[in-house]
Structure 1
Amino acid sequence: MSRVTAALLDEHWRAQARIGTGVSAQSLAQWSRVTPHSLEESGAAWLAWMLALIRSERRRSRDQAAAFYRLYRALETGHTLPPLSGEHVDESTTLGELREDWARQTETIRRPEPDDGEEIRLDGFDWPEEPVDAHDRAAVASLISQGPAKVRKDVAQAATEQARGRLDDAGYLEELEDASNSAGRTSANAADREALRAGRDLIDRASRQDRRAIGWARVTDGNPCAFCAMLASRGAIYGSQTTAASGGRRKPQGSADGRARANRRPPVSREDLTRYHNGCHCQTVPVFSRNDFMTPDARRFDREWQEVTRGKAGAEARAAWRRHIESSR
């Protein structure tokens, strides 16, 4: 992987993370208006405000993802896709123009590059439409379950366990506040994830129909969980069952990696690559070449897996890996 490509992949997850963390912060700010004593009314107002915000930020996430995809594909293949807007363009563009679009979408400063004038051919392509209704339903379900519904459940449990009869009891009021604060944090993480859904969905579905994409890989954020780090350590997962079963990278017989099968990572499917937990800023990106796809972080996780799980297999290896990652987060 080239330095330029690695840098772009890093910029991509960071740009998306800024969207998610911004939504998370606004969710927490608005949650301060939600009170357990008028949960139905205040919770409904919070939900309506958050859904409007998430819809807006999903559009930003989607526009950013398309700009990333176009530039990334150009760097990897010398070909790109038409603009997401569908506006008429010539049969070619330049790397400089694609970089300008990326900088504009991410609101960053673009520095001139020596190859800005390189011509990039456009392939015919119809971008998939965002399933807005489905994304709205997912957002509502996630926000309610992690916010108002969680408060309701926690408050009911506290009242039952303590069997208190007075609503002004100091201990009970403290538990109400703790329940509300906990739900505020979990719902903020859910809002973060929902804001990024459109960008992730665009790359996922576009790469499925992109004839030049031959596989996928996980790019981690700066603080991945054990599962996400393991996914990244696998490198590329290719479309064919043969290469996917071997982790996407063919190893010659008798090689060091070929002999170290006892601590091989668990099998990874394409569906695993596109799973994200609340608060996760990892991304799944298409792969356009069978050259070894490994970001610097992925190479580090690859080395660490081999060291941490040496002599272990199965559940024992996974447990050792989880302890290692959690201790370093």
Structure 2
Amino acid sequence: MTTPAHIREAEEASAAFQLALAQIGVETTAEALELWESVNPARLAATAQQWLDRAVQLILTRRRQSRALAMAYYRLARALRTGRTVADPTLPSPRYVTLEVLRGEFRALAGVESDLPPDEVVEPSDEPEPEPGEPSEPIDEDRVPVEEIEDLRAEEERREREAEEEARLVLDALGPANIERQLEDLGDDRLEELSAREVDELREQAHAKAGARQAAAASRVARNGGRDLIKAAGDRDERVLGYVRLSRTGTPCGWCAMLLSRGFTPKSGPYRSQSSAGPTRQELVAGTAADVDRYHDNCNCYAEPVYSREQLNNSPLFALNRRYAQEWPRVTRGTSGRDALSVWRKYIRSQQD
């Protein structure tokens, strides 16, 4: 079913998905900064709660957008790589769908145009598949079978409940509570020595620093909606073997470069559900809760599903992973643990200067 042209299209779709997901993050950051202006650092108790409620709703709205984008990408990429797609659990789904329908869904959400000529549009069909053992024609690319992923809707809902709790915790810690900590660190004696104007200036500085932190966290949690969707679907998809972490920019931080160097991770490996990992408050605030969510603020990585050994060994998407996998043992030779990571980070910075 799949052809070299389909594989190239899947590679292009991956790049478009990463770019569109990053754009959601940029827009979320801008909206979070604008919303943050409603917080008065001199009247935190009176303004913080209303801001928090609105900020959480902003994140949940953007998460829905990133989930829809990820679902459209997953459906298209799976069809291009395996000849079969999956049902969107939020919508009624026919037994068959055309590649052009899947392309259209993804283009609309990613905001991209395709240079590939459109296929002849064939209406989705509810005609049943042949029973096992019955003769059947080769799969037509305009008649892609739709498969169900068990319990995906329930898993999405669970992750969204966790995300709302995470958003409230993280935004409060990095926003209003952050301002309070910055002022407390100065000490009452120091504040009493300053004029009212100087205290106001310190409050504004604390407000600006906290605003940047909470906006970056809002962007991360919003983009994690798409990352979570791909993870939740992949874990339950019998056709997915595992994942490879990708960097959109190609210039990851040292930590992410270390994770990229690990290459392929089977589904039974460290990619696991956040609930089973038991994230601490500190991990949630830092954005490193559970291995599946190892995305720090301003991180442009995501985990790409792998459907075959051929994809793993030959996909140009994984070129940076292969390079880092070769460089890691050479760069960190004679070191281990934190020392190895420190040496590696210095090396990555030197390569990007």
Q: Quick one: distance in 2 between partners of 1:309 and 1:320?
A: 6
Query: Take 1:115 and 1:88, find their aligned partners in 2: how far apart are those partners?
Result: 21
Give unpaired runs (5+ residues) of structure 2: 122-140, 271-289
Contact 1:47–1:140 (CA<8 Å) still a contact in 2? Answer: yes
Which consecutive residues of structure 1, in runs of 5 or more, have no partner in the other structure? Answer: 245-270
Matches within 5 A, 1:175-324: 175-222=202-249, 223-239=251-267, 272-291=291-310, 292-293=312-313, 295-305=318-328, 308-310=331-333, 312-324=335-347
Deviation by residue 1:223-251 (Cα, 9 ceiling, x = unmatched): 4221212222222112467xx9xxxxxxx
Measure, in 1, the Cα distance between the counterparts of 2:19 and 2:120. 23
Give the whole-Å Cα distance in 2 for the aligned partners of 1:240 and 1:48.
37
Tell me what 2:96 maps to: 92
Q: Give the letter for the 1:194 counterpart.
A: V
Does the CA contact (< 8 Å) of 1:158 and 1:175 recur in 2? no
Q: 2:173 matched to which residue of 1?
A: 145
- The CA deviation at 1:214 is 1.3
Instruction: Output the aligned Cα RMSD.
Output: 2.6
AA aligned to 1:52 is Q
3-state secondary structure, aligned to 1:183: helix
1:64 lines up with 2:77 in the alignment: no
Aligned pair count?
299
- Alignment equivalent of 2:162, drawn from 110, 121, 134: 134
Measured after TM superposition, the shift of residue 217 of structure 1 is 1.4
Distance 2:298 2:189 in 1: 31
Say whether the 8 Å CA contact 1:308–1:324 is kept in structure 2.
yes
Q: Give me the whole-angstrom Cα distance separating, in 1, the residues matched to 2:340 and 2:42.
A: 47
Q: Aligned with 2:245: secondary structure?
A: strand
**Equivalent residue for 2:284?**
none
Query: What residue is the counterpart of 2:125 in the other structure?
Result: none
> Which range moves more in the overlay, 21-30 or 182-191?
21-30
CA distance 1:198–1:178, change in 2 (3 Å): same
- Structure 1 residue 62, shift from structure 2 partner: 0.8
Check whether the contact 1:215–1:236 (CA below 8 A) recurs between aligned residues.
Answer: yes
Distance 1:288 1:161 in 2: 62
The 2-side partners of 1:30 and 1:37 are apart by: 17
Alignment partner of 2:148 out of 106, 120, 124: 124
8 Å contact 2:178–2:210 — kept in the other structure? yes
Cα distance, 1:141–1:315 mapped onto 2, change above 3 Å: closer
Moved more, 303-312 or 3-12: 303-312
2:109 to 95, 105, 109: 105
Partner of residue 36, structure 1: 41
Deviation at 1:153, TM superposition (A): 0.9
Asked if the contact 1:92–1:122 (Cα under 8 Å) also holds between the matched residues in 2, the reply is: yes
Measured after TM superposition, the shift of residue 97 of structure 1 is 1.9
Q: Deviations over 1:67-119 (max 9, x none)?
A: 01111111221111023432131x22232221111001112223334778824
CA contact (8 A) 2:244 2:305 kept: yes
Task: Measure how far apart 1:275 and its partner are.
Answer: 1.5
Amino acid at match of 2:305: P
Which shifted more, 118-127 or 98-107?
118-127
- Give the drift of 1:279: 2.1
Q: Given the two structures, how large is their TM-score scaled by the length of structure 1?
A: 0.81
2:278 equivalent in structure 1 = none
C-alpha distance in 2, partners of 1:67/1:175? 46
Distance in 2 between the 1:24 and 1:87 partners?
A: 33
One-letter identity of the residue aligned with 2:182 = D
State the distance in 2 between where 1:187 and 1:240 align: 33
Q: In the aligned structure 2, how far is the partner of 1:325 from the partner of 1:238? A: 26
Amino acid at match of 2:169: A
| 2-structure distance, mates of 1:198, 1:73 | 19
Distance 1:136-1:274 versus aligned 2 partners, 3 A rule: closer
* Amino acid paired to 2:165: R
Pairwise CA distance, 1:163: 4.6
TM norm structure 2:
0.76
Q: Provide the secondary structure at the position in 2 that maps to 1:36.
A: coil
